[in-house]
Amino acid sequence: MNGADDDDAALFRSAIGPVRKLPERPAPPSAPRPKPRAKMAERDDADAREDLRHALESTLLEADDPLAWRGDVSQEAWQRLRRGEMSAQEELDLHGTDAATAEALVRAFLNDAQRHGLGCVRIIHGKGGRGGADIGRSGAPVLKNLVDRMLRQRSSVLAFHSPLPAQGGSGAVVVLLAPRRR
């Protein structure tokens, strides 16, 4: 430092007077740490969803595949259903509907059929052969697979089978319903 700078510093100190050191401030709070994530559980969930997606895609029904599932029904009732000897008391036609609308219609139709004591109904889902919204990315019929999945999950459904060709064939399904619980 040279003499002029020393004189300026001395002049500044004499103008200010005695100084005292300020107490040290605590450090400002840091940003909150992110909540811990269960990365392994997330990865397991993602893997399970992917496995389920692959399993569903590998079991998708094609246009000409019949729908069939047997729950708690007698062998005689199952055989009559398969041979087309049971007549539907009511029918729902899903042609031209999208998957979300079809799902809502099927739920309402089955609830209404059971509420009215119907034992056998037919759902026409189509074969999905037009290549429009009724065909999924895998090329499988959307409505047909949706109806199959929904019917298998309903406790009110005792059994179902695709009817004979004259009654709709693989583009429809005849459903046996459980009696209404009182």
Among 23-27, 132-136, 165-169, name the one with the lowest average pLDDT: 132-136
33-63 pLDDT, tens digit per residue, is 888 888 887 887 777 777 656 555 556 777 7
Across the beta sheet with 120-124, the strand order is 68-70, 157-161, 172-177, 120-124, 90-93
Q: What is the DSSP letter of 59?
A: T
Among candidates 53, 51, 88, 76, which has minimal Cα distance to 164?
Answer: 88
> In this structure, what token pair is assigned to residue 70?
């047997």
* pTM of the full structure: 0.65
- Structurally, at CATH architecture level, domain 67-177 sits in 2-Layer Sandwich (3.30)
d(CA 146, CA 61): 10
Close Cβ partners of 95 (under 8 Å, ≥ 6 residues apart) = 124, 126
User: 92-101: per-residue pLDDT in tens?
Assistant: 999 989 989 9
Nearest CA to 68 among 173, 169, 155, 168? 173
- What pLDDT score was predicted for residue 10? 85
Of the pLDDT bands very low, low, confident and very high (cuts 50, 70, 90), residue 179 is confident
Handedness of CA 91, 144, 49, 101 (dihedral sign): negative
Look at residue 167 and tell me whether its pLDDT is greater than 60: yes
Q: Which residues pair with 68 in a beta bridge?
A: 161
For residues 140 and 149, the answer to whether their CB atoms sit within 8 Å is no
Q: Write the CB contacts of 140 (distance below 8 Å, at least 6 apart in sequence).
A: 60, 61, 62, 128
Cα–Cα distance, 169 to 73 (Å, whole number)? 22
Which amino acid belongs to residue 161? H
Q: How many Å is the Cα radius of gyration of the chain?
A: 36
Summarize pLDDT for 110-125 with one digit per residue, the tens: 999 999 999 999 999 9
Output the average pLDDT for the chain: 84
What ranges do the domains of the chain cover?
A: 67-177
